[in-house]
Amino acid sequence: MLADTFPCVLLFMTAARALEVLNFTLLNGKPIRVMYSNRDPTVRRTGAGNIFIKNLDKTIDNKALHDTFSTFGYILSCKIATDNTGQSKGYGFVQFDNEESAKNAIDKLNGMLLNEKQVFVGPFLRKQERESSIGKAKFNNVYVKNLSESTTDEDLKNVFSEHGPITSAVIMRDADGKSKCFGFVNFENPDDAARSVDSLNGKKFDDKEWFVGKAQKKSEREMELKGQYEQTLKETADKFAGLNLYVKNLDDSINDDKLRELFSEFGTVTSCKVMLDPNGISRGSGFVAFSTAEEASQALMEMNGKMVVSKPLYVAVAQRKEERRARLQVFDLVVSFLNYCV
């Protein structure tokens, strides 16, 4: 029994050592990320244990962020948002393997100074949650658009004053005095402003459906849009992580329909494609996408290594080209490390 267990223990210890030594090692000028394999894509997609950090000093990189937060638990992913030149945008994301570690990190680090800057650390919010939280923020100034050209300042004042005392109501106009069909209303009390948004947003006046919401400064709008864009990218990547499978070693007789037939027993196949050369001959590989990560995981477990027309299939989660290249480079580093250990 001990003889059977020892190789597994040794492998785990070697993997742990590789993670410790190779994680964030520079490769072609970029730090690589080494972590234990997690075959459950639902962990990434649920957002459990995921936190958002902003107001970071521009010198803080992925490794520094990882080192700061790793004291609170095991980190599944850690990323600083960067522009197209690689410069930090001052915010990032950390996902722990459990919610308790994330909560502990938020409690201990939110408002702390990192490189002389006070950082905000909070739960990662998905789009619907962000929109809800924005609606709960205190504000006095209300923005209203999609007004009819005939709507006057007095009309605006009369409509909004039903919800509480206002200090100003103005419709924006061009140089010729023509309405731009939007305006601003300022309330004395933020609760009245919030009630006016809840009551009037989406209502029709003069056959025009008004949009009513919190007025924002230009810098606030730009910051919010940037944050929404980055988080939407992350949500999209998380949403489709694990749904798409790569299949190779296909027999030449397998076409799109036969590939779909092979995998449809595991769930709803949303797309299926066998790759062809310029002459229309199968390249022996293809892709199958499922509607859920659970279906894709089941198909991967059942179909990887299965004999189909006398050939064993190779099935894996599909990766982008740059991800495959990075993984191969990491594999080469790990092999070199293992040879060094031996």
Residue ranges matching CATH 3.30.70.330 in the chain: 2-125, 140-214, 244-317
**CATH code at 2-125:** 3.30.70.330
Measured in degrees and rounded to the nearest 5, phi and psi for residue 95 equal -120, 120
Report CA dihedral (200, 204, 206, 207) to the nearest 10 degrees: 160
Tokens representing 156 are: 């605006």
Q: Give 10-residue mean pLDDT values along the chain (342 residues).
A: 42 54 62 58 62 90 87 86 85 89 89 85 70 63 93 93 92 92 92 91 90 81 67 57 83 93 92 90 91 84 88 82 50 50 47
Rounded CA-CA distance 137/266 in Å is: 45
Q: Could you tell me if 245 and 289 are in contact, meaning their C-beta atoms sit under 8 angstroms apart?
A: yes
pLDDT in tens, 24-55: 566 666 666 665 555 555 555 556 788 999 98
Burial of 143 (0-12, 13-18, 19+ CB in 10 A): middle
C-beta separation of 289 from 270 below 8 A = yes
pLDDT of res. 127: 56
Q: What is the pLDDT of residue 34?
A: 62
Q: How many CB atoms lie within 10 A of CB 17?
A: 13
Beta-carbon contacts of 260 under 8 Å, excluding residues fewer than 6 positions away, are 269, 272, 288
Q: Is 213 helix (H, G, I), strand (E, B) or coil?
A: strand
257: tokens are 């329909």
DSSP notation for 30-93 = EE---------HHHHHH-TTEEEEES--TT--HHHHHHHHGGGS-EEEEEEEE-TTS-EEEEEE
Annotation: CATH topology of 140-214: Alpha-Beta Plaits (3.30.70)
- Check if the beta carbon of residue 209 is closer than 8 Å to that of residue 275: no
In sign, the C-alpha dihedral spanning 91, 96, 99, 103 is: negative
How much is the CA Rg of the chain, to the nearest whole Å? Answer: 27
CA angle 69, 30, 34 (to 5 degrees): 50
CA 299 to chain centre: 25
User: What pLDDT, on a 0 to 100 scale, did the predictor assign at position 8?
Assistant: 43
pLDDT at 110: 87
Residue 225 token pair: 């849009």
**Confidence (pTM):** 0.37
Do residues 313 and 263 lie in contact, with contact meaning Cβ atoms separated by under 8 Å? no
**Residue burial 96-118, b: 16+ Cβ < 10 Å; e: rest:** bbebebbeebbeebeeeebeeee
Beta strands in the chain (DSSP E): 26-27, 30-31, 50-54, 75-82, 88-96, 113-114, 117-118, 120-123, 141-145, 166-173, 179-187, 204-205, 208-209, 211-214, 244-248, 269-276, 282-290, 307-308, 311-312, 314-317
DSSP β-bridge partners for residue 34: none
Cα angle value 303/308/311 (rounded, 5°): 105
- Fold of the 244-317 domain: Alpha-Beta Plaits (3.30.70)
Question: What is residue 301's predicted lDDT score, i.e. its pLDDT?
Answer: 86
Specify which residues 143 forms β-bridges with: 184, 213
Instruction: Please tell me the predicted confidence (pLDDT) of residue 298.
Output: 85
